[in-house]
Structure 1
């Protein structure tokens, strides 16, 4: 037995008409949502501050070989040290950690303290930290949302009481001069700079991109970041080579001292055993000669 099912055209027409009627009934709501979205979009477009980019490229160079030690390598060979086995490649400063270097707090704090002349502010000279703390770049929608989110913290700050630190804790806090202490202004500046200073590696090329509110400032900050990154890498490599040189010099001194001691023992033995032809004396002399060699 075969059942034949046929689609009723009238039912499809009714369902489409019902859907169209539902849309027409909700058209005011749809137009309202569309209008709100349009207004927000226009506010974001027209209130977002302009950002200017400055880019530069760094060509990575291969690590130096052991021949860079020069005459120190010869001394190391005399001391019995194999230069190729020195820990020159351990903890090497590779380009993979360059983004971590330029995004570190110490690095960004120094950048934020640099002063620049802002043409958009009638030539006013200001540090990047002060600029980003006061301006808080962003569109009006973002600023409004951030302000609403910060209201609970502002209100709680009105009623909060600062508890005095005990004398012992206060004294220990003063002694911690080596620790980096950041204010809220510095934290905001670091956050803004971290979003605007980006570094990417493409093969042997490292691409540094900086975004700033003015083109000249963007170019200056790009140059500044690049120079400080190069200084950081240079200081690291020079320090690493200096530690290797100090290690070799110490080993050479120890080897020289052992050589002199062996030489004195051999000379003393020969002086005290002149004219003796005993087998034990010969054996002892051979041992001392071996140590001397």
Structure 2
């Protein structure tokens, strides 16, 4: 008998032994698998229901230069405004930074503090209050709470925090351990995906209530766009406010000099002395200078207004928020399949391990 035939024969014997081992332990395998299936059924039907709402945004991608202004550039030229000298393009905010904005503590607390309506419970409250007082826990959460977390419950009962509100002043936030846990749990309910190819922003939110999921998604959509617009336009707004303030001061100065010149011309209408002519010439020079400053600043005000419009980004909502009709969790069929596979694999492994152990002893 060749070596290859001997190896094939040994493999066939091992395979037959494996099948015999599994068949002899079929009752044990069936019992263990049945227990796992029952456990899967319990988890699948006692886990809290979740609904997922989503929306898709397309941020504006503007080119630099005044070419984006279209006909506005021609109108500005007629008004004496040179858009070619205006600085091009503000700070570029990559869409990849949007998840960081959403996960920031001020943003999350603002969303969690917003009052929304939980239709299934006819309850109007904030997300923070809901998950702190009204949310239903799953069977696994209860098991963890009253087994592993029992010592934590006893300890927290001894050192309970008297203040359940979030402390905040102009510089600091102070959250309790429970509040930090609620914030982190809420972050996991939010998902933002950015398409590298198209730049599309996909916002998804999971909540225990379908209507609440849609409301939170809409809130995040509004706040994200508001944050981006603020970031992009803050500098342009500051510049516009400065130019307008300077323009108002120049306007007052020009009007004052204009009034002085008019009075001086009226008073010296029939006077031809050299002193009067010198004084009149001096005031006329002041008037001309004040007018040039006034005219230049008026042009800068218009430039700053156009710049602000140019810097303000535009978001196109490609897929508006809809109230989800189907629940996203729990996926009961998937849970049952997973527990069936786990039960079968565990029971078969135990049977094989037991067989090998007994063979070693013999």
TM range (shorter): 0.5 to 0.7
For residue 197 of structure 1, what is the aligned residue in structure 2? 190
- Secondary structure at the aligned position of 2:54 is classed as strand
For residue 288 of structure 2, what is the aligned residue in structure 1? none
In structure 1, what is the Cα distance between the partners aligned to 2:144 and 2:213?
A: 28
Q: Any stretches of 5+ residues in structure 1 without a counterpart?
A: 163-173, 253-293
Q: Given the alignment, which residue of 223, 228, 241 partners 2:223?
A: 228
The answer to which of 176-185 and 52-61 deviates more is 176-185
- Secondary structure at the aligned position of 1:50 is classed as coil
Q: CA deviation at 1:239?
A: 0.7
Q: Given the alignment, which residue of 196, 201, 204 partners 1:209?
A: 204
In structure 2, what is the Cα distance between the partners aligned to 1:153 and 1:243?
A: 51
- Secondary structure at the aligned position of 2:149 is classed as helix
C-alpha change, 1:183 and 1:64, in structure 2 (3 Å) is farther
Q: CA deviation at 1:228?
A: 1.3
For residue 30 of structure 1, what is the aligned residue in structure 2? 29
Q: CA deviation at 1:216?
A: 1.9
Q: Give a deviation string over 1:154-185, Cα, whole Å, max 9, x none.
A: 233456699xxxxxxxxxxx996520112344
For residue 60 of structure 2, what is the aligned residue in structure 1? 61
Contact 1:129–1:185 (8 Å) recurs in 2: no
C-alpha change, 1:158 and 1:13, in structure 2 (3 Å) is same
In structure 1, what is the Cα distance between the partners aligned to 2:7 and 2:95?
A: 70
In structure 1, what is the Cα distance between the partners aligned to 2:207 and 2:168?
A: 38
In structure 2, what is the Cα distance between the partners aligned to 1:158 and 1:96?
A: 42
1:156-167 matches, within 5 Å, as 156-157=155-156
1:94 aligns with 2:94: yes
Contact 2:117–2:211 (8 Å) recurs in 1: no
Q: CA deviation at 1:52?
A: 2.0
Q: CA deviation at 1:109?
A: 0.8
For residue 237 of structure 2, what is the aligned residue in structure 1? 242
C-alpha change, 1:28 and 1:142, in structure 2 (3 Å) is farther
Q: What root-mean-square deviation, in Å, do the aligned CA atoms of Structure 1 and Structure 2 show?
A: 4.1
TM norm structure 1? 0.62
- Secondary structure at the aligned position of 2:93 is classed as coil
In structure 2, what is the Cα distance between the partners aligned to 1:245 and 1:117?
A: 40
Q: Any stretches of 5+ residues in structure 2 without a counterpart?
A: 162-166, 248-362
In structure 2, what is the Cα distance between the partners aligned to 1:219 and 1:175?
A: 28
Q: Which has the higher contact order (CA 8 A, sep 6+)?
A: 2
For residue 116 of structure 1, what is the aligned residue in structure 2? 116
Contact 1:51–1:214 (8 Å) recurs in 2: yes
TM norm structure 2? 0.52
In structure 2, what is the Cα distance between the partners aligned to 1:96 and 1:111?
A: 20
In structure 1, what is the Cα distance between the partners aligned to 2:10 and 2:200?
A: 66
C-alpha change, 1:32 and 1:152, in structure 2 (3 Å) is farther
In structure 1, what is the Cα distance between the partners aligned to 2:155 and 2:210?
A: 40
For residue 280 of structure 2, what is the aligned residue in structure 1? none
For residue 152 of structure 1, what is the aligned residue in structure 2? 151
Contact 2:168–2:174 (8 Å) recurs in 1: no
Q: CA deviation at 1:147?
A: 4.3
Counting matched residue pairs gives 231
C-alpha change, 1:64 and 1:133, in structure 2 (3 Å) is farther
Q: Give a deviation string over 1:58-94, Cα, whole Å, max 9, x none.
A: 11102464547979x96999xxxx754x8x555x322
Contact 1:109–1:186 (8 Å) recurs in 2: no
Q: Give a deviation string over 1:242-270, Cα, whole Å, max 9, x none.
A: 355579899x9xxxxxxxxxxxxxxxxxx
Contact 1:112–1:129 (8 Å) recurs in 2: yes
In structure 1, what is the Cα distance between the partners aligned to 2:193 and 2:18?
A: 51
Q: Give a deviation string over 1:81-140, Cα, whole Å, max 9, x none.
A: x754x8x555x322111111112111111111122232322x222221121123455531
For residue 170 of structure 1, what is the aligned residue in structure 2? none
- Secondary structure at the aligned position of 2:48 is classed as coil
